Amino acid sequence: MKGLLELTHSTARKNELVLSSEVSERLDKVLLEQRQKSRLAQFGLSPRRKLLFTGSPGTGKTLSAAVLASELKLPLYTIVLDNLITRFMGETAAKLRLIFDHIKQTRAVYLFDEFDAIGTQRGATNDVGEIRRVLNSFLMFVEQDSSESILLAATNHPELLDKALYRRFDDIIQFEKPGQTQIKQLIENRLSAFETGRLSWDEITQAACGLSSADVTRACEDAAKEAVLHHDANITTEMIIKAVQRRQNGKH
Ligand SMILES: Nc1ncnc2c1ncn2[C@@H]1O[C@H](COP(=O)(O)OP(=O)(O)OP(=O)(O)O)[C@@H](O)[C@H]1O
Ligand SMILES: [Mg+2]
């Protein structure tokens, strides 16, 4: 596939993901329908397999793709946008055709990640009209696809897409920034090697309010390193809040 598809063997598990119950239920539905696809087929039904993931950076879109692949024991192919988009629409369409041939031949999870990056990848394609044409051409391929693979498209900017084409997806999943409950869960997951029983969760979750899940995770790692290297592996509310505030201020 000459650099168009990147194969990853994901080991990410469902319990690593911290999501709202709504998003979590939607992903569970995909897993269930995929696992029961032959039962569905007996009744002329087909499982969900074309999904659009929307949401701001660091909310778990890419991680969810990895989890779906590993839970279904399927390979994960990520489409390398850099090599897909060319200055000439004709070439881009030809490359898309190659990718969709692969999708038909090899059942796997295919992630068209970070579509919003299309506009900034290359100077030459940096206009909205061109981005729209490429996106809509992709969505046309999605519509025509009748393979057994799982197609995931992830974007930070769903407003760029033609609304009419939304219907081509079996589900649109909106990833959100974590609320208080999810922030606590993310921190507990990340700091499972530490004693976290005495932390002041209200203070911590308040300080972390508005951060993405990715930022909360990174703040935990900073606090954990601080604890290990300077405090005999004792983690405190203050250390976590300090790390969280550093993320809030954008100082990494
Ligand atoms: N919902 C989540 N639950 C658990 N960890 C998360 C979650 N979201 C993000 N993370 C952590 O942050 C990292 C980056 O998240 P991910 O790449 O999935 O974000 P994304 O939504 O794809 O962002 P982008 O729009 O920038 O591509 C993950 O590998 C994980 O460590
Ligand atoms: Mg991503």
pLDDT digits (tens, 9 = 90+) for 93-138: 788 899 999 999 999 999 998 765 554 444 445 566 766 677 778 8
Secondary structure of residue 19 in the 3-state scheme = coil
Q: 65 CA to middle of ligand 2, Å?
A: 9
pLDDT at 123: 46
Between CA 14 and CA 24 the distance in angstroms is 9
Q: Is the dihedral of CA 23, 159, 126, 102 positive or negative?
A: positive
- Identify which ligand lies nearest to the alpha carbon of 116: 1
- Identify which ligand lies nearest to the alpha carbon of 212: 1
Mutate to test the pocket of ligand 1, among 19, 118, 217, 221 (most ligand atoms within 8 A of CB): 217
Mean pLDDT calculated for residue range 238-249: 97
pLDDT at 140: 85
Exposure of 232 in the CB half-sphere (CA atoms within 13 A): 0
Chain segment 11-55, per-residue pLDDT in tens: 999 999 999 999 999 999 999 999 999 999 999 999 999 999 999
Q: What percent of the chain has pLDDT over 90?
A: 70
User: Residues lining ligand 1, judged by CB closer than 6 Å?
Assistant: 16-19, 55, 57-63, 114, 156, 175, 186, 213-214, 217
pLDDT of 225 above 50 = yes
- Would you report the helix, strand and coil content of the chain in percent, each value rounded to 5? 55, 10, 35
Between CA 62 and CA 10 the distance in angstroms is 11
Q: 63 CA to middle of ligand 1, Å?
A: 5
Ligand 1: which residue has its CA nearest to atom 10?
Answer: 214
Q: 41 CA to middle of ligand 1, Å?
A: 33
pTM for the full model? 0.91
User: Position of tokens 């369409």?
Assistant: 93
Chain segment 194-207, per-residue pLDDT in tens: 999 999 999 999 99
- Name the DSSP letter for residue 4: S
pLDDT of 221 above 60 = yes
Q: Which domains does the chain have, with CATH numbers?
A: 5-174 (3.40.50.300), 180-248 (1.10.8.60)
- Please give the backbone phi and psi of residue 247, each rounded to the nearest 5 degrees, phi first: -65, -40
pLDDT at 127: 61
Amino acid 252 reads H
Chain segment 141-189, per-residue pLDDT in tens: 988 999 999 999 998 877 766 676 677 899 999 999 999 999 999 999 9
- Identify which ligand lies nearest to the alpha carbon of 215: 1
Q: 123 CA to middle of ligand 2, Å?
A: 22
Q: 60 CA to middle of ligand 1, Å?
A: 3
Ligand 1: which residue has its CA nearest to atom 26?
Answer: 57
pLDDT-based confidence at residue 210 (cuts at 50, 70, 90) = very high
Q: Which string of DSSP letters, residue by residue, matches 143-182?
A: HH--SSSEEEEEES-GGGS-GGGGGGSSEEEE-----HHH
Between CA 121 and CA 114 the distance in angstroms is 11
Mutate to test the pocket of ligand 1, among 10, 62, 182 (most ligand atoms within 8 A of CB): 62
